[in-house]
Amino acid sequence: MRTLVARLDSDGDVLLAGPAVRAAAAAGEVVLLCGPSGVQAAELLPGVTRIVEWECPWIVHPAPDVRPVDIEAVTALVHGIRADVALILTSFHQSPLPLALMLRLAGVPKIVARSTDYPGSLLDVRLRDDPDVPEAQRALEVARAAGFELPEGDDGRLAVVEPPPSGLSGPYVVVHPGATVPARTWSPDRWAKAVVALTAAGHRVVVTGGPGETELTGHVAGACGTDLGGRTTFRELAGVLAGAGAVVVGNTGPAHLAAAVGTPVVSLFAPVVPAKRWAPHGEHVLLGDQNAPCRDTRARECPVPGHPCLDQVDPAEVVAAVAEVTA
């Protein structure tokens, strides 16, 4: 049995597909079709046999042009995979049907997805409902609809392959201030104040971030924190998070990576998307006004002056939350 699993957006989304991938892998090979911003997470998922990268023009932001040559190339590539079944994993605001059409043209004999729109002959198994449950569970339900189940002993939590040791000595707390969507994280000055407050409470603070976030992590770390911005790969970041007592982070991929390595999360969560679906799929404390005016807007930039849903959170609340999850 060879299963094609498609999750075409970012690292966090790919990590949340992990339980569905493991269920499919219990029955055979899994080829994961993902976008360029999800590859580094895909490389960490147990059960993935092969990764195929594709920049999908109706998923990726900013969207690339739709070019016939690209569509033809990926259709031919999928045809060569010879998948027995395909699972299309999407968020509630995404349609699986454009990809289902491509997979049908590529000869995939069985396609399973959740779709509110009438799929005609594009889907063989269609889940109509859209339950308000954690995203990882929604994806696992698609795998189960295809006849896959998690192997015995698999509790359905997020998981990654064993990360490398961090090389950091002594207990520490990770602060990860960046996010690809600005509305989903605290403002830089609030992060910097939280680092000072955590340090004053006796914590060693390690600040992490990607290669494009070094200015941010330097500002946030200040004179108190250890700045690792731009100094770790995604796999190495998993090791840093695994060694931490807690991770303080916005709604972004490393929050899910922390959950996957079993580290409790203090989540600065903006309600632009529902926490019931997107909060860390593991032990966490949620901070932020979940009834703020930006609720369910899916805004990339905060639509409310002053970013009140998060910037009204006091750094002392972060210190208290870290104490709660590390007790």
Q: Per residue in 137-191, pLDDT tens?
A: 999 999 999 999 999 999 999 999 999 999 998 899 999 999 999 999 999 999 9
pLDDT for res 126: 98
pLDDT band of 327, cuts 50, 70, 90: confident
List pLDDT tens digits, range 298-315.
Answer: 999 999 999 999 999 999
What confidence score (pLDDT) does residue 61 get? 87
Task: Determine the 3-state secondary structure of 226 from DSSP.
Answer: strand
Distant-in-sequence, close-in-space partners of 197: CB < 8 Å, separation ≥ 6: 315, 316, 318, 319
- Label residue 321 by pLDDT band (50, 70, 90): very high
In whole angstroms, give the CA distance from residue 327 to residue 312.
25
Average pLDDT, the chain: 96
Take residue 90 and report the two structure tokens written for it: 């999407």
Does 2-145 match 173-326 in CATH topology?
yes
* The length of the chain, given as a count of residues: 327
Mean of the pLDDT values across residues 72-100? 96
103-112, 129-138, 253-262: which range is least confident on average?
Answer: 129-138
60 phi-psi bin (left φ>0, alpha ψ -120 to 50, beta other): beta
Q: Please, are residues 23 and 140 in contact by the beta-carbon 8 Å criterion?
A: yes
Provide the β-strand partners of residue 205.
173
**Are the C-beta atoms of 96 and 115 separated by less than 8 Å?**
yes
pLDDT (mean) for 27-38:
97
Q: Residue 208 gets which letter from DSSP? A: -
Nearest to 131 by CA among 114, 148, 151: 114
Rounded CA-CA distance 157/140 in Å is 11
Residue located via tokens 């899916």: 298
* Three-state helix/strand/coil letters over 245-298: CEEEEECCHHHHHHHHCCCCEEEECCCCCCHHHHCCCCCEEEECCCCCCCCCCC
pLDDT of residue 157: 97
Domain 173-326 coded CATH 3.40.109.10: no
Query: Looking at residues 253-282, what average pLDDT do you find?
Result: 96
In the chain, % of residues over pLDDT 90: 94
d(CA 271, CA 254): 18
Strand partners, 86: 4, 111
Determine the Cα–Cα distance for residues 193 and 315; give it in Å rounded to an integer: 6
Question: What CATH class does 2-145 carry?
Answer: alpha beta
Give the gyration radius of the chain's Cα atoms. 20
* Separation of alpha carbons 7 and 276, rounded Å: 20
Distance CA 6, CA 100 (A): 10
- pLDDT tops 90 at residue 13: yes
Which helix or strand (DSSP H or E) is residue 158 part of? none
Output the pLDDT for position 230.
Answer: 97
> In the prediction, which pLDDT does 39 show?
98
Mean pLDDT value across residues 251-266: 98
CA 59/CA 242 separation, integer angstroms: 30
Instruction: List Cβ neighbours of 118 (8 Å cut-off, separation of 6 or more).
Output: none
Better-predicted residue by pLDDT, 130 or 162: 162
Q: Is the dihedral of CA 253, 256, 258, 260 positive or negative?
A: negative
CB count within 10 Å of CB 3 equals 28
CA atoms within 13 A on the CB side of 277: 17
Taking residues 188-211, what's their average pLDDT? 97
CA distance 84 to 39: 23
What are 111's strand-pairing partners?
86
- Spans of all domains in the chain: 2-145, 173-326
The verdict on pTM exceeding 0.85 is yes
Quote the percentage of the chain above a pLDDT of 70.
Answer: 100
DSSP 8-state code for residue 133: S
